[in-house]
Amino acid sequence: MIDLTAPVGEAFPPARARTPAATLSSDAPVQSLDGMWRFRYSRTVADAPDGVEAPDYDDSDWSEIPVPSSWGMPWHDRTLGADHGAPAYTNVQYPFPVDPPFPPDANPVGDHRLRFDVQELLPRTELRFAGIEGAATVWLNGTLLGTTRGSRLPSVFDVSDVVIAGANVLVVRIAQFSAASYLEDQDMWWLPGIIRRVELASRPHGGIDDVFVHTDYDPATGGGTLTVDAVVHGGGTAEIRLAELGVVAPAGDTLALDTVEPWSAEQPRLYELTVSTPAETVTLPIGFRTVEIRDAQFLVNGRPVLLRGVNRHEHHPDSGRAVPRDTVEQELRLMKQHNVNAIRTSHYPPDPYLLELADRLGFYVIDECDVETHGFGLVGWRRNPSDEPEWADAYLDRARRMVERDKNHPCIVMWSLGNEAGTGRNLAAMSEWIRGRDASRPIHYEGEQDCAYLDVWSRMYAPPSDVALIATFDEPPLDDPDLDARRRAMPFVLCEYAHAMGNGPGGLDEYQELFESSPRLMGGFIWEWLEHGIRTTDADGRPRIGYGGDFGEVVHDGNFVIDGLVSADREPRPQLEDLAVVFAPVRLTIDPAGQTLTVRNRYDFTGTGSLAFAWRFEAADGTATEGRIEVPEVAARAQADAPLPQEALAASAGGAGVLTVSAVLAADADWAEAGHEVAWSQRSTVTSASLDSTRTAPAAGAASMTGNAGIATVEPRTGALVALGDIDVADWRLELWRAPTDNDRGRGWEERDEPPMSERWTAVGLDRLVSRLVSFDADSDGVRAVTRVSAAAHDWGVLLDCAWTGVVDGVRLDVSVMPDGGPIAVPWARLGLSFSIPGEFGAVEWFGRGPGPGYPDTGQSARLGWHSATVDELQTPHVRPQESGARRDVHAFRLSDGKGRALRTGGDPFALTVRPWSTEALAAATHREELAGDGRTHIVIDHLQHGIGTASCGPGVLSQYVLWPGPARFQLRFTA
Ligand code: IPT
């Protein structure tokens, strides 16, 4: 077996190694070797068979595997009926002893074999692997070609003297772990395999082995420059051609072009460049743009741009790290549709296809190197490879392979050295090498806060209060005055913030307001785009989406891998819809009098000419009228007012209702169709009274000692509501708890000395409240029940005073809540009333915010109006069940059984949660698929709620959204 303690790959002989070069699209023949390969999984290196490299080795009893894919995915076991091992998830911790450079003996091996035919032998042939996760040893026709390291980087071998016309046999043995695994400790599944395309490429004599395109754009003159360096095999020169601009010139010349259209994420203008020699022509899309740092600002084409970014990993619920091209296209379109303009390729160079698309659709990309040694942090950073000389080559090798592969993409605006690798001279050396090779892009890395060898200052999960200091250059100084001065001249980026795990993140607006307040702030990248769920089955064979710990891992980090704006199937989570509103590049506001629309253009380069504006008025009864608004073009970063049209004013004057204005695409774009909404805003004149069909006049003789008030029946011995008309009601109680969200289970970064909120809640018993009847009175006005709600072993409590008054169509409930007894220094999760009614009541209509959910610090995408949904549709299908799905600002709702019976509720606006299971069942479930309806419809009406925050990784709930215990009063009305 080949030595697995080497951190860099090797070619045998060294001359077989191909110098790292750009991925180029060429007219020279290429043969894809993707498809079904023979495959054998061995649990350990010791179990792996001998002799597999021999062309005549008998692999007839092996299974098969699609290439590219990750071999441990349950999809393979299910579909191919073979045991190929299992995925394993860890965040920071290594899944093997920290014993560098040794991999563990329990080191799975995947043997891959492919027989393929070569029609015609061409003079020079390369075998290219775009990505092999793990440490591979490669043989062609029995000849050892070499080994690979660097899982998300290309490995290329010259096979001219080994490939034969006719049948060839390619063998790739991958050991999951090697020394290189110490450099690949990203927070994600450990998933070895041939994860990207494999091809055989002919390299003509006199062909083009590499191209480096240098462009820039001068906003002052509108001109640009172009220099194309070409490496021609065997020497000689190449010719470049840019037909659109009439350019034909020898490569190597610097050309000044008087007029070019610049490339930006907003207007991704590409030109087609060809580079030719008599033997070969390569074609590349190129863009003219300049990235620079000046006056502590990050400038593209001379202007400070705001990055509205996401961190993107490569993951697919069936094929693992290999993501099909149509999925990548789908996700980038989704990003554009949700106003995302930047991608950090966390935490490794992506499949090159992503960069092609990002050039075309328009994204600013931070290309990040495949380096993370986070697990050394758990052992005090002792022997961290980032600072150990024996790892220097490996670091440089990775930097070089990334830059050479990706250097021609206009979308890449920064190079990132990696993630969470501590600090040290090997990182500094990477930076120096990159600077020498490509001075046109700044260098990013978050792990080195002195920024000694970096160009921008980057942090992750900094709370808004820290960002506010940085915005105004008021950050605490570094000890070294020189370094401090250097850093103070840098722009600032949040390479990760707002942890989109489960229900949340809360508090996006507060970050965005800061980003827009200071040109020093470059914006940031949400953590993260995608949940890494895996389609699998439970112990009983039932389908489910799995996470860490579901695959028998010895150590794992649970559902921390499920933290995205979209599910693993790329289904948007509510937080993506919210983000679209927070990131909207155009802000609309209607003045308080409802006469004027203000358009604030937040694009950095683009006027509003590509947008159309519209209005819609929805009256309190649900009827609507709509029309267009004429808005003169508003320049980039400018603002203007436009009067609302007479029809809109007339409609709004007709009675209570909601006026919505919106900006939509006027024409089809590459990423959305005409009519796609980019921004909206509302003005409402609806009050609960304007919706209330229940009159408040007392109904004569409505109450009695049996506890009837109007349609309400209250149990005299407990004070609990037990019926509304003929609808039976159960589980009536005061609710102060919620099924903990992932953020509730996190320890906020500013509250590190406190246990997580979910634990503080259970410590004071919010999850197990009991009730004692204090008093029950009934007279001709109604029924009044006072109960004291508290928890075993505690002396704190709450007096709940419910006064029920019969009214003509139903019953009015006046609620008063008063803390009683020993204080608790723990926020409440909510202040609400909950109850259940029969499960047939499954259709909900409401006036309030929707269609999506919202909490005090989320739900930016939920708009006021009438909405309807089934109870099932109201559930957010989080992989790990948790509190979710509340609709905010509800003024009235109706729950009907489809057979003419309905419960109607109104009153002071509240948050409404309706679900087919109880809060306890929700809290107890570990996977979505465990939840099943219990035959009841469970309703929680919240007068107040605690915020969501982003404490699963980052700051907790911001102070303005914390629900501290206190007295409250509110009113509800029920009609049945
Ligand atoms: C940060 C990591 O960079 C990222 O990979 C991911 O783990 C994220 O956190 C949380 O999901 S590192 C952490 C110490 C903040």
Atom 15 of ligand 1, nearest CA residue? 953
Atom of ligand 1 nearest to the CA of 346: 5
Range name among 15-24, 78-87, 517-526 with the lowest pLDDT average: 78-87
Asked if residue 498 belongs to a domain, the reply is: yes
| Position 753 pLDDT exceeds 90 | no
Task: State which residues form the domain around 643.
Answer: 584-685
* Pocket mutation for ligand 1, best pick of 89, 90, 91 (most atoms within 8 Å of C-beta): 91
Q: Does 424 share its domain with 559? A: yes
Q: Would you place residue 702 in the very low, low, confident or very high pLDDT band (cuts 50, 70, 90)?
A: very low
Residue nearest to atom 5 of ligand 1 (CA): 187
The answer to whether the peptide bond before residue 13 is cis (omega within 30 degrees of 0) is: yes
Same domain, 729 and 831: yes
Write the CATH number for 878. Answer: 2.70.98.10
pLDDT score at 705: 53
Atom of ligand 1 at shortest range from CA of 446: 3
CB 132 within 8 A of CB 154: no
876 in Cβ contact with 855 (< 8 Å): no
Boundary-marking domain end, from 151, 175, 202? 202
Does 774 reside within a domain?
A: yes
CA of 666 to the centre of ligand 1 (A): 39
Ligand 1 nearest atom to the CA of residue 560, by list position: 11
Tens digits of per-residue pLDDT, 240-273? 999 999 999 999 999 999 999 999 999 999 999 9
pLDDT at 707 over 80: no
Q: How far is the CA of 501 from the centre of ligand 1 (A)?
A: 12
Q: Is residue 7 part of a domain?
A: no
Atom from ligand 1 closest to the CA of residue 347? 5
DSSP-derived 3-state class of residue 395: helix
Q: What is the pLDDT of residues 217-248, one digit of tens each?
A: 999 999 999 999 999 999 999 999 999 999 99
**56 and 122 both lie in a single domain:** yes
Q: At what angle do helices 392-406 and 425-437 cross, to 10 degrees?
A: 30
User: Pick from 202, 227, 261: which residue ends a domain?
Assistant: 202
Nearest CA, atom 6, ligand 1: 187
Residue nearest ligand 1's atom 4 by CA: 187
- Ligand 1 centroid from CA 333, angstroms: 25
439 SS3 class: coil
Which one of 527, 547, 950 would you pick to mutate in the ligand 1 pocket, going by the greatest count of ligand atoms within 8 A of its CB?
A: 527
Q: Nearest residue CA, atom 12 of ligand 1? A: 420
Amino acid in the structure at residue 346: S
Q: Which atom of ligand 1 is nearest to the CA of 563?
A: 11
Nearest CA to ligand 1 atom 2: 187
Say whether both 766 and 872 belong to one domain.
Answer: yes
Q: Do 535 and 635 share a domain, yes or no?
A: no
862 alpha carbon – ligand 1 mean position (Å): 29
Note whether residue 690 is domain-resident.
no
Indicate whether 346 and 417 sit together in one domain: yes
CA–CA dist 945, 385 (Å, integer): 47
631: domain CATH number is 2.60.40.10
Q: 664 and 715: one domain?
A: no
Ligand 1 centroid from CA 187, angstroms: 7
pLDDT tens sequence across 902-927: 999 999 999 999 999 999 999 999 99
**Nearest atom in ligand 1 to 528's CA:** 11
Residues 830 and 959 in one domain: yes
- Going through 177-237 in order, the beta strands assigned E by DSSP cover 188-190, 193-194, 198-202, 208-218, 223-232
Ligand 1 pocket, CB under 6 A = 91, 187, 347, 419-420, 460-461, 496, 499, 527, 563, 953
How far, CA to CA in Å, does 298 sit from each of 292, 310, 441, 442, 511?
Answer: 6, 18, 11, 9, 18
Calpha distance 33→24 (Å, rounded): 18
Distance 591 CA to ligand 1 centre (A): 42
What is the CA(109)–ligand 1 centre distance, in A? 29
Q: What is the CATH number of the domain that holds 176?
A: 2.60.120.260
Distance (Å) from CA 198 to ligand 1 centroid: 31
Catalytic residue numbers read 420, 496
Burial 261-282 (b: 16+ CB within 10 A, else e): bbbbbbebbbbebbbbbebbbb
Backbone angles phi, psi at 514, to 5 degrees: -65, -50
pLDDT (mean) for 200-214: 96
31 within some domain: yes
Mean pLDDT calculated for residue range 870-885? 98
For residue 91, pLDDT over 80 is answered with yes
Question: Ligand 1, atom 13: nearest CA belongs to which residue?
Answer: 953
Domain for residue 6, yes or no? no
Among 22-31, 291-300, 648-657, the minimum mean pLDDT is found in 648-657
CA distance 764 to 828: 10
Q: Is residue 280 part of a domain?
A: yes
CATH of the domain at 350: 3.20.20.80
**Number of domains present in the structure of the chain:** 5
Angle between helices 352-361 and 392-406 (to 10 degrees): 40
Query: Which amino acid appears at position 645 of this protein?
Result: P
Reported pTM? 0.97
Q: What is the pLDDT of residue 748?
A: 79
Take atom 9 of ligand 1 and give the residue whose Cα is closest.
953
Distance (Å, whole) CA 142 – CA 156: 18
Q: Which atom of ligand 1 is nearest to the CA of 460?
A: 15
Residue 694: per-residue pLDDT: 46
Query: Which residue do the tokens 């969501």 mark?
Result: 948
| Short-list 132, 109, 113, CA closest to 61 | 113
- Are 560 and 594 members of one domain? no
Average pLDDT of the chain to the nearest whole number: 95
Q: What is the pLDDT of residues 627-638, one digit of tens each?
A: 999 999 999 999
Is residue 697 over pLDDT 70? no
579 Cβ neighbours under 8 A, 6+ residues apart: 338, 339, 340, 508, 526, 565
- Residue 78 has a pLDDT of 81
* Domain membership flag for residue 1: no
Choose the final residue of a domain: 258, 292, 326.
Answer: 292
Q: Are strands 208-218 and 247-250 parallel, antiparallel or unpaired?
A: unpaired
> Are 566 and 595 contained in the same domain?
no
Could you report the per-residue pLDDT of 541-565, keeping only the tens digit for each?
999 999 999 999 999 999 999 999 9
pLDDT at 140: 98
Residues 770, 880, single domain; the answer is: yes
In this structure, the answer to whether residues 572 and 614 fall within a common structural domain is: no
Going from the Cα of 524 to the center of ligand 1, the distance in angstroms, rounded, reads: 14
